[in-house]
Amino acid sequence: MKTINVLIIFMLLVFSTHLMAYGGSSSSKKKCKKPTLSEVMPAHLSIVPPTSSFSFHTSTATLLHSIRVTANKTPVEVDIKKVANGFVVSGKLPSTLKRKYVRLDFTGTTSNSCQGVDGWLIEIAQENAN
């Protein structure tokens, strides 16, 4: 009889340990909400002249000091304005860009320490060599 009781206790311990390893469905951790982009101008895959302006909106949770923009991995100087639903970020493409396609990348961090990266691709109109 003692052997059966010990065996049952052992099985219950093993079973309960496996259940605890997977955790419960509720969690005390906050969900990571990354910064988002909207109203991107010029739109993805647009053809624009060299040194064109660009702009986009970021979400309200984005921290102002964390906003960074690069064009083909080159840092771009931007103006940032606070609006009711986040920030409006604007700037100009650097004149040093020599490639036909430019990837504009945005990085930012939200108030709950979640970092996000987003971006879009634009085409630089090539000057005619006459």
C-alpha to C-alpha distance for 56 and 105, rounded to whole angstroms: 11
What pLDDT digit, counting tens, does each position of 34-56 carry? 998 999 999 999 999 999 999 99
The domain defined by 37-124 folds into Immunoglobulin-like (2.60.40)
More confident residue, 5 or 37: 37
Average pLDDT over all residues of the chain = 84
Question: Tell me, what's the pLDDT at 105?
Answer: 95
Identify the pLDDT of residue 14.
63
Least confident of 1-10, 11-20, 47-56: 11-20
pLDDT-based confidence at 17, cuts 50/70/90? low
Dihedral of the alpha carbons of 81, 87, 92, 93, in degrees to the nearest 10: 160
Q: Where are the domains of the chain?
A: 37-124
Residue with tokens 């993805």: 44
Query: Could you tell me what percent of the chain has a pLDDT over 70?
Result: 78
With 80 as the cut, is the pLDDT of residue 67 above it? yes
Do residues 120 and 89 make contact, with C-beta atoms less than 8 angstroms apart? no
Q: Are strands 47-48 and 115-124 parallel, antiparallel or unpaired?
A: parallel
For the whole model, what pTM was predicted? Answer: 0.71
Burial of residue 8 (CB within 10 Å: 0-12, 13-18, 19+) is exposed
Q: Which residues contact 34 (CB under 8 A, 6 or more apart)?
A: 110, 114, 115, 116
Confidence band for 33, pLDDT divided at 50, 70 and 90: confident
